[in-house]
Amino acid sequence: MNLSSIFHQKIFRIVSISSQRIKQKSYVIGGYVRDLLIGKMESKDLDILTIGEGIRLAKEVSKTLIPSPKIRIFKRFGTAMLEYNNQRIEFVGSRKESYSFSSRNPIIKLGSLQDDQNRRDFTINALAISLNRNNYGELIDPFGGLSDLKKKILRTPLDANITYSDDPLRMMRAIRFASQLQFEIEKNSFQSIQKNKNRISIVSIERIVEEFNKILLSEKPSVGLLLLYKSGLLSIILPELTLLKGIEEKNGYKHKDNFYHTLQVVDNISKEKNNSIWLRWVALFHDIGKTFTKKFIPEIGWSFHAHEFVGAKMIPSIFQRLKLPKSSSMKYIQKMIQFSYRPIALIGNNTNDSAIRRLLFDVGNDLEDLMKLCIADITTNNVERKNKYKKNIYILMERIRKLEEKDRIQNWKSPISGNDIMKVFQIDPCKKIGIIKDFIKDAILEGKISNNFRSAYFIMLKKGKELGLKKK
């Protein structure tokens, strides 16, 4: 197959001419070719394979381009990268690899095109397109990658056991591609992942999490998450999730499978546009406390009381183990899990405004995400019940909107500061200031006074008098 008719980019001709000048054969290889053949939008990452020195070819290409782009050289790997027309172009010399059992870092030697295609993770990523004068645009497909693309199959070019054992990160990549592309992992290949799952221990947790994030960001993350579970990798990476699996029945009462429920919630949250990766992590973790709070109560059934508080407390240790950023992201996830059931408790006509004000005060700017989680958490197959639950949440959201419009509680800041209190009563910093500030806050949240300086000032004087303070 010759693809020169759809190979329109100017950069390909420039690489071809530059290769001829330095007498090195060159090819486009990997993800760009794969995406081109399945009709996806052209990738911003372009990999150029050359039979020779990648750095030398990059320098030659840079001299030809106007203006000449800056080259980033990675001597250790023998690669170079430049940017052209908002595209990252990486140049690498063809190589063959061998591995030691204790490391996924390969021993690299110069090799042929065939050697380089042999070392690729999947047949669909081993596809190459020639940039050479004698066969420009020809697709070079030694492992049937084009056929696998059409059948939507992920298969390793060589023995799957060797491929996954040599570089166990490829197991995560297989599942990530299956999730992103909606492909099926070939049976023998998947069995090899199951067989080699414990080899993942030699991969850095940062690289594992990088692939896991890509699975979470796919259109339907449950595809990848379920494959991680079936392969045995999930129990190694996130055992807290696999512990949710299963249904227990007692005296005719049974609970839902919280693992499959979690997968559905993650899928539901992923349908929303412009959601952050961290909201997907929230959906993934929102029920992890249920394993440790499950209790059977006769005549009532199964209870998971306070699971949201237990789940929130589990987050720091998980973040530490996965080397996730312990900053605002972790606090955000903790807060979202801790308050995940608060909106449900506020549904109904009997809920007073002060309870809603406290939710606004506690959640602040993350309220919209919390309501998205509540809607995503509705996974019943009963259409009538699902519509009823959603309607109740929408009614609550409208109450919240009107109350916030009136009282301005979201991201609330006290109209009376600690400095105001010290100035009025002529006192130094002390516990009484905190007591007065809390009293003002509670009075506003409970609707006893308006959220303004004048109302807060008079109640400050009243509380100060109770504490033995006098206005100076």
Summarised one tens digit per residue, pLDDT across range 199-252 is 999 999 999 999 999 999 999 999 999 999 999 999 999 999 999 999 988 887
Exposure on the CB side of residue 161, measured as CA atoms within 13 A: 1
190 in a domain, yes or no? Answer: yes
Tell me, yes or no, whether 35 and 114 share the same domain.
Answer: yes
- CA 193 → CA 202, 240, 271, 323, distances in Å? 15, 21, 29, 24
Is 42 a domain residue?
Answer: yes
Structural domain that includes position 10:
4-151
Supply the pLDDT for residue 243.
96
Residue at which a domain ends, from 207, 237, 267? 237
Tell me if 76 is assigned to some domain: yes
* 320 domain residue, yes or no: no
Give Cβ neighbours of residue 319 (< 8 Å, ≥ 6 apart).
Answer: 325, 326, 330
What's the pLDDT at 391? Answer: 93
DSSP type of residue 253: E
Name the pLDDT band for 29 (thresholds 50, 70, 90).
Answer: very high
How do residues 405-449 score in pLDDT, each as one tens digit?
Answer: 887 777 778 889 999 999 999 999 999 999 998 999 889 888 888
Looking at the structure, tell me whether residues 209 and 178 fall in a common domain: yes
Q: Are residues 33 and 119 in the same domain?
A: yes
Residues 79 and 193 in one domain: no
Q: Read off the pLDDT of residues 37-48 as tens digits, 9 standing for 90 and up.
A: 988 766 778 999
Beta bridge partners of 97: 108
By percentage, how much of the chain surpasses pLDDT 70?
96
Q: Is 440 helix (H, G, I), strand (E, B) or coil?
A: helix
Looking at the fold, whether 193 and 140 belong to one and the same domain comes out as no
Domain limit, last residue, from 181, 206, 237: 237
Cα 353 to Cα 232, 346, 405, distances in angstroms: 48, 10, 13
Q: Is residue 87 domain-resident?
A: yes
Quote the pLDDT of residue 403.
83
User: Which domain CATH number covers 55?
Assistant: 3.30.460.10
Q: Indicate the residue among 111, 131, 151 that finishes a domain.
A: 151
Are 87 and 176 contained in the same domain? no
Domains held by the chain: number: 3
406 within a domain of the structure (yes/no): no
The reply to whether 130 and 188 lie within a common domain is no
Strand pairing partners for 139?
Answer: 129
Contacts (Cβ under 8 Å, ≥6 apart) of 38: 149, 181
How large is the average pLDDT for residues 438-465?
A: 89
**Which pTM was predicted?**
0.86
So what's the pLDDT on residue 152?
96
Domain-located, residue 300: no
180 in the same domain as 135:
no
